[in-house]
Chains A and B, each alone.
Chain A
Amino acid sequence: MRRHRERIPDSGVSPHEPAEEARLLERIRQGDAEAFDTICRREAPRLYRFALRLTGDVETAEELAQETLVKTLPKLGGFEGRSRLSTYLAGALSNLWKNRLRSKARSKVVDIARPDDATDPLERFSDAAPDPERALDATDRAGAIREAVGRLEPERRLALLLCEVEGMSYEAIAETTGVPIGTVRSRIARARGELRRLLAELWP
């Protein structure tokens, strides 16, 4: 029997000293651009990958990752390092993304498919409605995966990607998304089941 995978995937980010990270963050808080560049080089690749998986769109992914880095890092002077900085940034990006979805949902006038029992705008709206242009991308496996992930219900997609891309534990995901750990468990499982079905359709 093959064992389950490791919890923290290799991010390609070299380990760094918490004290050094704290010093860099404090410098960023004071407007030190070089310190910002240093942290950016470490954190941007993973954050962008997460954003790209979440949105399925390179421009939106760059916007979200950039906004997260520019707005969040200057507020982290004195970061205690109890959680990884990458985890914190992923949480910040998730909130930014959800806010955008909610804003988009509120401004949406036309009817879209909504579960009757959903009350949260995020639950009622997915940015993954079939998009003819994006569907054209599903002509290769990578495009099919991107398309399939984009069609997942947003909360399930977020939970799955925080687990798969960010390597976060269920407990950390529960804390980040503000739902019980059992909900995280079922969301990830349902996302996987749904993703499997979608991929079978898009890339048989």
Chain B
Amino acid sequence: MNERDDILLSAWLDGELAPAERKALEERLEREPELLARLEQFRELSAALDDDPALPAGFLERTGARFRAEHPPARKSRARWGWAGLAAAAILLAAIVLPREGEIRELTAPAVAQSENELSEQVAADPVPDDVQAEPELQPIEEKLLSKTREQDAGVGREERLDATKQKKEAEAVPPPAAPTAAAPRKRAPGAAKSADADRAMALERQNFRSLADAAPAAVEGTPLPGGDALAAERSWLIEDAVRLQELSGATTDVAHELLAPTGRVLLVRGTILECRGQWRSGTVVPTLVLAGGPTTRSCAFPVPPGDAAIEVVVEGARDE
């Protein structure tokens, strides 16, 4: 009996032989008693290993207790919204934020620029189908916000908005997070009563924001952005738009922060959502939103702390400004 025969017998036992190999071996087994005896030995081993020891008493209880100790129930946070919230937020981003169809406004800190370029190289230009170029139907509140955006786009009130942002920054009692993008104050909905709950929520939000900022320090800790003052001003304007999104709903606030916080980069897109899907990567799920907006394709990822989800927004057919 040689090793080659052992390999064949073993694979036959496991049903892993190709048809021709199996046929040849079975013909040999018919005429070689030693080979058949060896096969029976292997088969007995399989039977011997096929016992079924019971779980130790209390195993499930001990394991459950350890899980409860190590994984307390998650509070609702920005990184744990559901798909519905993500899709709704993406719709709002797509429908409200950008003033012009087919446009991407993006500001990228140096630390993330490289990864963005790498991602961009992975996607190819892809003409947008005609049927995805239509203007999304807007809800009343969206129309209201869009009208503000159009004013800004026309250059009306932008300086005032930036001034107001600066003043609010200075007036904020709580110091802003380390990320430059965090410097923008959160606007409250008109007429909203300031309550203790709201304060606590705000404090919690800032805390979360800091933890997100900590995850990508190189990208957010005051790294000078390329593009000089003009780009910085544009960046503030974009932050203002994102902050306005926070007034709409919790889910929108979450996504607006997610988009802003981890990398210090703002990506605002306008287009029609083609698809919302999830991918399993390295132990986490990456939600991906695919939107149509122009003649080129871009994508970017927003890393968040371990254990939380990452967001990837893929804009298909969007055009660089």
Q: Do these two chains really belong together in a complex?
A: yes
Q: Which residues of A contact B (CB under 8 A)?
A: 1, 4-7, 9, 12, 28-33, 36-37, 40-41, 44-45, 48-49, 52-53, 58, 62, 65-66, 69-70, 73-75, 77-80, 141-142, 145, 149, 161, 163-165, 169-170, 185-186, 188-190, 192-193, 195-196, 199
User: What per-residue 1/0 map shows which CB atoms of B72-104 lie under 8 Å from chain A?
Assistant: 111000001000000000000000000000000
- A1-B15 in contact (CB<8A): no
B45 touches A185 (CB 8 A): no
Q: Is the CB of A37 within 8 A of B59?
A: no
Report yes or no: A186 in contact with B55, Cβ–Cβ below 8 A: no
With A70-B70, A170-B16, A196-B41 known to touch, is A48 a contact of B53 (CB < 8 Å)? yes
Bound-complex Cα distance A48 to B280 (A): 26
Number of interface residues of B (CB under 8 A): 48
CB distance B52 to A12 under 8 Å?
yes
Q: B287: nearest residue on chain A (CB-CB)?
A: A78
Q: Shortest distance in angstroms between B276's beta carbon and chain A's nearest beta carbon?
A: 13
Q: Contact at B10–A185, with CB atoms within 8 Å?
A: yes
CB-CB < 8 A to A161: which residues of B? 49
Q: How many A-B residue pairs have CB under 8 A?
A: 130
User: Do B73 and A62 touch (CB < 8 A)?
Assistant: no
CB distance from B245 to the nearest CB of A (A): 25
Contact B63 A192 (CB under 8 A): no
A53 to chain B, nearest CB (A): 7
User: Chain A's nearest CB lies how many Å from the CB of B87?
Assistant: 15
CB <8 Å contact, A145 and B49? yes
Known: A31-B71, A48-B59. 19 other contacts (CB 8 A): A4-B12, A30-B80, A31-B73, A48-B53, A53-B49, A66-B59, A70-B71, A75-B284, A77-B285, A78-B278, A78-B280, A78-B285, A79-B280, A170-B14, A170-B16, A186-B7, A192-B10, A192-B45, A195-B45
Chain A contact residues, majority secondary structure? helix
Q: Contact check, A66 vs B66: say whether CB atoms are below 8 A apart.
A: yes
* Binary A-proximity of B190-205 (CB < 8 A = 1, otherwise 0): 0000000000000000
Closest to B30 in A: A1
- Cβ contacts under 8 Å, B283 to chain A: 75
Instruction: From A4, A28, A65, A149, name the one whose CB has the most chain B CB atoms within 10 angstroms.
Output: A4
| A129 smallest CB distance to B (angstroms) | 21
Task: Report chain A residues within 8 Å CB of B14.
Answer: 4-5, 7, 163, 170, 188
B interface, by DSSP: helix, strand, loop or mixed?
helix
Q: Tell me the complex Cα distance, A58–B15, Å.
A: 31
Q: Is B182 an interface residue (CB 8 A)?
A: no
A164-B6 contact in complex given A30-B73, A195-B45, C-beta closer than 8 Å: no
A170 → B minimal CB distance (Å): 5
**For the complex, what is the distance from the CA of A49 to the CA of B52, rounded to whole Å?**
7
Q: Contact between A66 and B71 (Cβ–Cβ < 8 Å)?
A: no
Do the beta carbons of B55 and A44 come within 8 Å of each other?
A: yes
Verify if B13 is at the interface (C-beta below 8 Å from A).
yes
Q: Can you list 20 pairs linking A and B with CB atoms under 8 Å apart?
A: A5-B14, A6-B15, A30-B74, A31-B73, A36-B64, A36-B71, A45-B55, A69-B63, A69-B67, A70-B70, A74-B71, A142-B51, A145-B48, A165-B49, A185-B7, A185-B11, A189-B11, A193-B3, A195-B45, A199-B45
**Does B220 belong to the interface (CB within 8 Å)?**
no
Instruction: Tell me how far the C-beta of A86 lies from the nearest C-beta in chain B, rounded to whole angstroms.
Output: 14
Question: What residues of B have a CB within 8 angstroms of the CB of A196 in the complex?
Answer: 41-42, 45
